Amino acid sequence: MSSLATKFAALSTDNAPGQEVRRSDADIRALMIGEALPGRAVDFSHGDVDAFPPPPDAMERFAEAVRIGGRQAYTEYRGSADIRAELARRLEAFTGAPVSTDAGVIVTPGTQGALFLAMAATVAVGDKVAIVQPDYFANRKLVQFFGGEVVPIAMDYLGGGDGAGLDLSALEAAFVAGAKVFVFSNPNNPTGAVYSQREIGRIADLAKRYGVTVIADQLYSRLCYDGESYTHIRASGLPDEQCVTIMGPSKTESLSGYRLGVAFGAPAIIDRMEKLQAIVSLRAAGYNQAVLRSWFKEPAGWMARRVGEHQGIRDELLAIFAAAGFPTRRPQAGSYLFPTLPALRVAPLDFTRLLRQQANVIVTPGTEFGPHPRSIRLNFSQDRSAALDAARRIVEMVERYRR
Amino acid sequence: MSSLATKFAALSTDNAPGQEVRRSDADIRALMIGEALPGRAVDFSHGDVDAFPPPPDAMERFAEAVRIGGRQAYTEYRGSADIRAELARRLEAFTGAPVSTDAGVIVTPGTQGALFLAMAATVAVGDKVAIVQPDYFANRKLVQFFGGEVVPIAMDYLGGGDGAGLDLSALEAAFVAGAKVFVFSNPNNPTGAVYSQREIGRIADLAKRYGVTVIADQLYSRLCYDGESYTHIRASGLPDEQCVTIMGPSKTESLSGYRLGVAFGAPAIIDRMEKLQAIVSLRAAGYNQAVLRSWFKEPAGWMARRVGEHQGIRDELLAIFAAAGFPTRRPQAGSYLFPTLPALRVAPLDFTRLLRQQANVIVTPGTEFGPHPRSIRLNFSQDRSAALDAARRIVEMVERYRR
């Protein structure tokens, strides 16, 4: 294969969340056991913004931007200065460390855009990059795309320790071996694990000692459940120039249709990100940027209610999977569940296709997140009763196909 | 410098259109001759969507998408299937060659997004890429970013021949020397030159003979002036698998605030572009995509009026620059003018800064488009009288700083 063919083969999106509709499932019928399981279709590959709608004034902010016209259509590549100023104040309040309006914030098309730019700005050909297993599927693909070398760091997310279960000795070994960048999601996608203060402190210490750049994907850090505490690595003693934090309103706030992300921290990295954004997409859509004005300013009680509703669904789903005997980490934050299924008579990827064809349930295969073929990921930001019914159908399908 | 530092140094956006506000112009006062030239501020670095507003129903389509909710927020990475189907029909009617809904169209965040993905999908490290001089500034930067080698092809846009003036012998020599990709804008950005049928036919023949992939940026191809004819390279005998065409509604239709672009053609390239989009930005913002439903369906007379108004401004600006003795190509399409200025007593980049500081006029330096230090680019999609006044101030400033 040519170098480009190899590069793009590694980027396969055949099993990526949201792409299910492009799969050809013609040959799956031969594997089917039993009849279809009726029930309302549930797409656990992403949250349902109809079940959990955006805050009330998002569309109003957008319409206002359209009325403003040119000034809002053409912002600086890093985003409108007014909006960055508002964001900087709120993000420093939320994370507990200063954010520079002028040098320390960039608005991107979704958090995916921020992650792409941050990795491009820090990973050179041949660089070692420490990646958690399991973690968000794009982390690994981005390292490969930029010609870096993935150094996997295991996370014992079912181990029951005080934190996420990251193998900190392996992380130090990776840093000793020359890893230049550590990228991780916190809360972890797909398990919902939140890193403890001890873990974050240790990661910060190690990164500081070995001069490693940390990219912290904190997309779900506002959706923290009762009794959990969250530690921001950017406020944990790591020098500002070694850390970029990524957030956005696509998940908890259901604003994914507007494609907005924000990266903040190290000015030199943000600067590179802007230079690259100029040739990747120019800027986050101008009018859409205005929707960020209402971010972190939801009506009183809105966020608490949203967290509470998700917590209820989480607990009921955990009960269903516990009764079925599927080992599952109890998410401390976010809306992902990552149950481990028992051994099946069909290949894992075929099982997810059968789930879709027979049970009207879409899940993301565990292999998208690392070497986790027996796991599936569910985004449980869904209509409650539809989600519970769908989870019961998953359990029934597992019984049917159990080895 | 490290390899990343070198890579990002080449991506400098210091003089890129729209970034003027980030420049530090403190030291420019020492160079100033005379007083400020009063007049309404005109930013020729991009079109003025307040002077030329979008078609009436764009915002309505957007609001409709927000009401539809989840299905429109989360589309396939290559864009909503419904919208791609509509686009495929209109783009094949416009360009005169078939477009496959399923395999041959991708919706991107702006045409910049499409250009980035198309180049990433076709340019490997070390590949030679033929680039026109002058041409859109990102073409060159993208080749450099992907580790390719720029092979410049001169265009004698002031020569007065039947077409754009591309040096077709140099193009063939580049192909003979192994260039893998040819990327060009038509109408040309910054000159407004349109390639003749003879030139396009010859480019297609050569690309076919030497197996070169052609990326045709046709962003402005709907804004064609009286008496001009436009030839689509994708309908000129080039095999579909060797050609990707890029368009979008950001310019002529003033929808830049929605950040929408479309690439269509070679299925294998579109497929790679989608795989990469999955890690670059996931998709064009879901709700925004719906705005494409009204593209090519503007109210009767809307486009003719828009073209006519631009043609009027073009002719008046050309008259002002002709009277001043600035050699300027008469644009056949699009809304860019690229006059050549006489020799000045200050450096070209300083002159653009002086224009901004003293005359309230923003232009883009010619060096952004290739080795054209004596030229400046104006996007004349502006309020007519403000644009004419600003052009007169440019002439006056040139007189003041003339060597």
Partner-chain contact A19 B77, CB within 8 Å: yes
Kindly give, in sequence order, each residue whose CB lies less than 8 Å from that of residue A60, ignoring residues fewer than 6 positions away: none
- Say which residue the tokens 């004698």 belong to: B156
pLDDT over 70 (residue A25): no
For residue A313, the surrounding DSSP H or E stretch is: helix A302-324
Distance from CA of A53 to the nearest CA of B (A): 8
In this complex, which of A2, A138, A274 lies closest to B13 when CB atoms are compared? A274
By the 10 Å C-beta count (0-12 exposed, 13-18 middle, 19+ buried), B34 is classed as exposed
3-state helix, strand, coil in chain B (%, to 5): 45, 15, 40
* pLDDT given for residue A16 in this prediction: 80
Most B CBs within 10 Å, among A274, A279, A283, to test the B interface: A279
For residue B122, the surrounding DSSP H or E stretch is: helix B110-122
CA nearest to A313, candidates A390, A247, A257: A390
Partner-chain contact B257 A281, CB within 8 Å: no
Contacting residues of A for B8, CB less than 8 Å apart? 121, 272, 275-276
* pLDDT given for residue A2 in this prediction: 76
The C-alpha atoms of residue B386 and residue B360 are separated, in whole angstroms, by 11
Partner-chain contact A278 B138, CB within 8 Å: yes
Mean per-residue pLDDT, B313-335: 98
Query: Please, where are the H alpha helices in A107-150?
Result: 110-122, 137-145
Most A CBs within 10 Å, among B1, B3, B13, B14, to test the A interface: B13
Amino acid type, A26: A
Partner-chain contact B288 A285, CB within 8 Å: yes
Residues A291 and A61 sit within 8 Å (Cβ to Cβ): yes
Query: Please, where are the H alpha helices in A55-133?
Result: 58-68, 70-73, 81-95, 110-122
Contacting residues of B for A8, CB less than 8 Å apart? 121, 272, 275-276
Partner-chain contact B112 A281, CB within 8 Å: yes
Tell me the β-bridge partners of A340: A375
Most A CBs within 10 Å, among B145, B279, B291, to test the A interface: B279
Partner-chain contact A12 B53, CB within 8 Å: no
For residue A152, the surrounding DSSP H or E stretch is: strand A149-154
Residues A274 and A98 sit within 8 Å (Cβ to Cβ): no
Q: In what order do the strands lie in the sheet with A105-108?
A: A105-108, A261-265, A243-247, A213-217, A181-185, A128-133, A149-154
**Helix, strand, or coil here: B314?**
helix
The C-alpha atoms of residue B91 and residue A368 are separated, in whole angstroms, by 35
> Which two three-digit tokens encode residue A250?
């696509």
Q: Which residue of B has its CA nearest to A73?
A: B257
Distance from CA of B287 to the nearest CA of A (A): 5
* pLDDT given for residue A379 in this prediction: 98
CB-facing half-sphere around the CA of B316: CA atoms within 13 A: 18
Q: How far is CA A110 from CA A14, A260, B286, in A?
A: 21, 4, 11
- Say which residue the tokens 């060159």 belong to: B140
* pLDDT given for residue A20 in this prediction: 74
pLDDT digits (tens, 9 = 90+) for A65-74: 999 998 899 9
Contacting residues of A for B69, CB less than 8 Å apart? 49-50, 53, 257
Largest interatomic CA distance in chain B: 62
CB-facing half-sphere around the CA of B273: CA atoms within 13 A: 36
> Which two three-digit tokens encode residue B37?
């030239």
The C-alpha atoms of residue A361 and residue A392 are separated, in whole angstroms, by 11
Q: Which residue of A has its CA nearest to B278?
A: A13
Residues A275 and A281 sit within 8 Å (Cβ to Cβ): no
Pairwise pLDDT comparison (A105 vs B21), residue with the higher score: A105
pLDDT digits (tens, 9 = 90+) for A291-311: 999 999 999 999 999 999 999
Most B CBs within 10 Å, among A280, A283, A364, to test the B interface: A280
CA nearest to A150, candidates A159, A141, A158: A141
- Say which residue the tokens 């320390």 belong to: A104
CA nearest to A66, candidates B253, B257, B256, B43: B257
Q: Which residue of A has its CA nearest to B22?
A: A76
Mean per-residue pLDDT, A135-151: 95
pLDDT over 70 (residue A374): yes
Partner-chain contact B259 A288, CB within 8 Å: yes
pLDDT digits (tens, 9 = 90+) for A215-232: 999 999 999 999 999 999
> Quick one: how many helices (H) and strands (E) in chain A?
13, 12
Tell me the β-bridge partners of A326: none
Number of A–B residue contacts, CB under 8 Å: 191
pLDDT digits (tens, 9 = 90+) for B252-274: 999 999 999 999 999 999 999 99
Contacting residues of A for B110, CB less than 8 Å apart? 281-282
**Helix, strand, or coil here: A162?**
coil
Partner-chain contact A280 B275, CB within 8 Å: no
pLDDT digits (tens, 9 = 90+) for A241-281: 999 999 999 999 999 999 999 999 999 999 999 999 999 99
By the 10 Å C-beta count (0-12 exposed, 13-18 middle, 19+ buried), A301 is classed as exposed
Residues B149 and A317 sit within 8 Å (Cβ to Cβ): no
Phi/psi for A27 (5° steps) reads: -85, 5
> Which two three-digit tokens encode residue B98?
């078939």
**What end-to-end distance do the CA atoms of chain A give, in Å?**
38
Residues B199 and B164 sit within 8 Å (Cβ to Cβ): yes
* pLDDT given for residue A24 in this prediction: 66
The C-alpha atoms of residue A286 and residue A291 are separated, in whole angstroms, by 10
CB-facing half-sphere around the CA of B6: CA atoms within 13 A: 8
**Helix, strand, or coil here: A102?**
coil
Mean per-residue pLDDT, A143-165: 95
Contacting residues of A for B256, CB less than 8 Å apart? 73-74, 286
Q: How many CB atoms lie within 10 A of CB A89?
A: 13
pLDDT over 80 (residue A21): no
Mean per-residue pLDDT, A18-31: 76
pLDDT digits (tens, 9 = 90+) for B6-16: 888 888 888 78
Contacting residues of A for B275, CB less than 8 Å apart? 8, 11-13
> Which two three-digit tokens encode residue A384?
């409650």
Packed helices B384-401 and B302-324: angle between N→C axes, nearest 10 degrees: 20
C-alpha dihedral (A328, A332, A335, A339), degrees to nearest 10: -10
Partner-chain contact A73 B16, CB within 8 Å: no
Pairwise pLDDT comparison (A167 vs B25), residue with the higher score: A167
Phi/psi for A223 (5° steps) reads: -100, 70
Partner-chain contact A72 B4, CB within 8 Å: no
CA nearest to B346, candidates B325, B365, B321, B370: B365
Partner-chain contact A16 B288, CB within 8 Å: no
In this complex, which of A7, A48, A258 lies closest to B285 when CB atoms are compared? A258
* pLDDT given for residue B17 in this prediction: 79
pLDDT over 70 (residue B25): no
* pLDDT-derived band at A1, boundaries 50, 70, 90: low
pLDDT digits (tens, 9 = 90+) for B173-230: 999 999 999 999 999 999 999 999 999 999 999 999 999 999 999 999 999 999 999 9
Mean per-residue pLDDT, B15-28: 74
Mean per-residue pLDDT, B76-85: 96
Most B CBs within 10 Å, among A74, A78, A105, A180, to test the B interface: A74
Q: Which residue of B has its CA nearest to A146?
A: B146
Contacting residues of A for B279, CB less than 8 Å apart? 11, 112, 115-116, 138, 141-142, 145
The β-bridge relationship of strands B376-379 and B364-365 is antiparallel
Partner-chain contact B19 A287, CB within 8 Å: no
Kindly give, in sequence order, each residue whose CB lies less than 8 Å from that of residue A287, ignoring residues fewer than 6 positions away: A62, A65, A66, A72, A73, B257, B258
**Helix, strand, or coil here: B299?**
coil
pLDDT over 70 (residue A134): yes
Q: Which residue of B has its CA nearest to A63?
A: B59
Among residues of chain B, what percentage have pLDDT more than 90?
91
Distance from CA of A74 to the nearest CA of B (A): 7
Q: Which residue of B has its CA nearest to A124?
A: B4
Among residues of chain B, what percentage have pLDDT more than 70?
99
Tell me the β-bridge partners of A304: none
The C-alpha atoms of residue B12 and residue A278 are separated, in whole angstroms, by 9
* pLDDT given for residue B180 in this prediction: 97
Residues B116 and B127 sit within 8 Å (Cβ to Cβ): no
In this complex, which of A16, A69, A257 lies closest to B73 when CB atoms are compared? A257
Partner-chain contact A46 B278, CB within 8 Å: no
The C-alpha atoms of residue B112 and residue A279 are separated, in whole angstroms, by 6
Mean per-residue pLDDT, A370-376: 97
In this complex, which of B142, B257, B259 lies closest to A66 when CB atoms are compared? B257
Mean per-residue pLDDT, A19-35: 80
In this complex, which of A13, A48, A288 lies closest to B285 when CB atoms are compared? A288
* pLDDT given for residue B26 in this prediction: 67
Domains of chain A: 3-53+301-401 (3.90.1150.10), 58-294 (3.40.640.10)
The C-alpha atoms of residue A398 and residue B11 are separated, in whole angstroms, by 52
pLDDT over 90 (residue A12): no
